[in-house]
Structure 1
Amino acid sequence: MLNIPLWNRVLIWGLVALGLAFAAPNLFYPRVERHNDAAAVVQNGGDVTDEVAADLAGWPSFLPSSLVNLGLDLRGGAHLLAQVQVEDVYAARMDALWPDVRDALREARDTVGTIRRQEAPAGELRVRISQADGMDAALAVVRALSQPVSSLTGAGSGTLAVSGAGDVITVTLSEAERAATDDRTMRQSVEIVRRRVDEVGTREPTIQRQGDDRILIQVPGIGSAEELKTLIGTTARLTFHPVTGRGGSDMTPQARELVLPSMDDPTQFYRLEQTPVLSGEDLSDAQPAFDQNGLPSVNFRLTTSGARTFCEYSQSNVGAPFAIVLDGEVISAPTIREAICGGSGQISGNFSVEGSTQLAVLLRAGALPAEMTFLEERTVGPDLGADSIAAGEVAAVVAGSAVLIFMLVSYGLFGLFANIALIVNVGLIFGLLSMIGATLTLPGIAGIVLTIGMAVDANVLIFERIREELKTAKGPARAIELGYDKARSAIYDANITTFITAVILYVMGSGPVRGFAITLGLGIVTSVFTALYVTRLLVLMWFDRRRPKTIEV
Structure 2
Amino acid sequence: MGGWLKFRLIIVLLAWIFAILFLLPTISGKSLGFLTKDKIRLGLDLQGGTHLLLEVKTEEALLNFLTRLKNEMMDSLKTKRIFALEGEVVNGKIELLLLNEEMIPPFEKFLADEYPNLKIEDVKRVGDRVKITLNLDPKEKQNIENSAVDQALETIRNRIDQLGVTEPEIARQGERRILVQLPGIKDPERAKAIIGKTALLEFKLVDEEHDLQEALSGNVPEGSIILYGIRRDKTTGRVVKIPYLLKEKTLLTGDAVKDARVAFGEFNRPYISLSFTSWGAKEFERITGENVGKRLAIILDGTVYSAPVIREKISGGKAIIEGDFTLEEARDLAIVLRAGALPASLGILEERTVGPSLGKDLVEKGVKAVIIGGLLVLVFMIIYYRFFGIVADLALILNLLLVLAVMVMLKATLTLPGIAGLVLTVGMGVDANILIFERIKEELREGKPYKAALDNGYSRALLTILDAQITTLIAALVLFQFGTGPIKGFAVTLSLGILINLFTAIFVTKAIFDGLFQVRVLKELKL
Q: Same fold (TM over 0.5)?
A: yes
One-letter code of the match for 1:80? L
Relative distance call for 1:321 and 1:353 in structure 2 (3 A) is same
Q: Which residue is 2:90 aligned to? A: 121
**Residue 4 of structure 1: CA displacement?**
4.2
Q: Which residue is 2:142 aligned to? A: 179
Decide which of 254, 259, 263 is 2:221's aligned counterpart: 254
Q: Are residue 328 (structure 1) and residue 302 (structure 2) matched?
A: yes
Separation in 2, partners of 1:162, 1:301 = 43
Q: Which residue is 2:151 aligned to? A: 188
| Most deviating of 299-308 and 442-451 | 299-308
One-letter code of the match for 2:20? L
Relative distance call for 1:493 and 1:289 in structure 2 (3 A) is farther
2:347 is paired with a residue whose SS is strand
Separation in 1, partners of 2:76, 2:241 = 40
Give structure 1 stretches of 5+ with no counterpart.
33-57, 148-157
Contact 2:231/2:241, CA 8 A, preserved across alignment? no
Separation in 1, partners of 2:192, 2:132 = 41
One-letter code of the match for 2:54? A
Relative distance call for 1:288 and 1:61 in structure 2 (3 A) is farther
Contact 2:403/2:493, CA 8 A, preserved across alignment? yes
Q: Are residue 146 (structure 1) and residue 115 (structure 2) matched?
A: yes
Decide which of 15, 30, 38 is 1:66's aligned counterpart: 38
Decide which of 429, 438, 447 is 1:455's aligned counterpart: 429
**Residue 161 of structure 1: CA displacement?**
5.5
Q: Which residue is 2:449 aligned to? A: 475
Separation in 2, partners of 1:248, 1:61 = 69
Q: Are residue 198 (structure 1) and residue 161 (structure 2) matched?
A: yes
Decide which of 489, 501, 504 is 2:475's aligned counterpart: 501
Matched residue count = 512
Q: Which residue is 1:427 aligned to? A: 401
Give per-residue Cα distances to partners, 1:401-437, cap 9 Å, x unaligned: 3322332233211111101111121111111111211
One-letter code of the match for 1:307? A
Separation in 2, partners of 1:116, 1:212 = 38
Contact 1:74/1:389, CA 8 A, preserved across alignment? yes
Q: Which residue is 2:236 aligned to? A: none
Q: Are residue 91 (structure 1) and residue 63 (structure 2) matched?
A: yes
Q: Which residue is 1:36 aligned to? A: none
TM-score normalised according to structure 2 size: 0.87
Q: Which residue is 1:170 aligned to? A: 133
| Most deviating of 161-170 and 322-331 | 161-170
Separation in 2, partners of 1:161, 1:510 = 43
Give per-residue Cα distances to partners, 1:151-188, cap 9 Å, x unaligned: xxxxxxx3556542220122333332222222222222
Q: Which residue is 1:233 aligned to? A: 196
**Residue 514 of structure 1: CA displacement?**
1.1
1:262 is paired with a residue whose SS is strand
Separation in 2, partners of 1:366, 1:185 = 13
Relative distance call for 1:406 and 1:286 in structure 2 (3 A) is same
Q: Which residue is 1:25 aligned to? A: 25
Q: Which residue is 2:9 aligned to? A: 9
**Residue 370 of structure 1: CA displacement?**
0.9
1:95 is paired with a residue whose SS is helix
Give per-residue Cα distances to partners, 1:58-116, cap 9 Å, x unaligned: 8776664312222122222223333332221222112211243124423443xx4x322
Give per-residue Cα distances to partners, 1:414-470, cap 9 Å, x unaligned: 111101111121111111111211111121111111111111232223323333443
Contact 1:104/1:141, CA 8 A, preserved across alignment? no
One-letter code of the match for 2:110? V
Separation in 1, partners of 2:416, 2:120 = 50
Separation in 2, partners of 1:2, 1:478 = 17
Q: Are residue 132 (structure 1) and residue 101 (structure 2) matched?
A: yes
1:67 is paired with a residue whose SS is coil
**Residue 361 of structure 1: CA displacement?**
1.3
Separation in 1, partners of 2:322, 2:85 = 37
1:301 is paired with a residue whose SS is strand
Separation in 2, partners of 1:269, 1:344 = 26
One-letter code of the match for 1:165? K
Decide which of 48, 71, 78 is 1:76's aligned counterpart: 48
1:92 is paired with a residue whose SS is helix
Contact 2:415/2:486, CA 8 A, preserved across alignment? yes
5 Å-filtered alignment, 1:302-313, equals 302-313=276-287
Give structure 2 stretches of 5+ with no counterpart.
233-239
Separation in 1, partners of 2:147, 2:225 = 28
**Residue 545 of structure 1: CA displacement?**
4.5
TM-score normalised according to structure 1 size: 0.83
Contact 1:262/1:268, CA 8 A, preserved across alignment? yes
One-letter code of the match for 2:86? R
Separation in 1, partners of 2:514, 2:275 = 69
Q: Are residue 207 (structure 1) and residue 176 (structure 2) matched?
A: no
2:55 is paired with a residue whose SS is strand
Relative distance call for 1:221 and 1:94 in structure 2 (3 A) is same
Contact 1:192/1:366, CA 8 A, preserved across alignment? yes
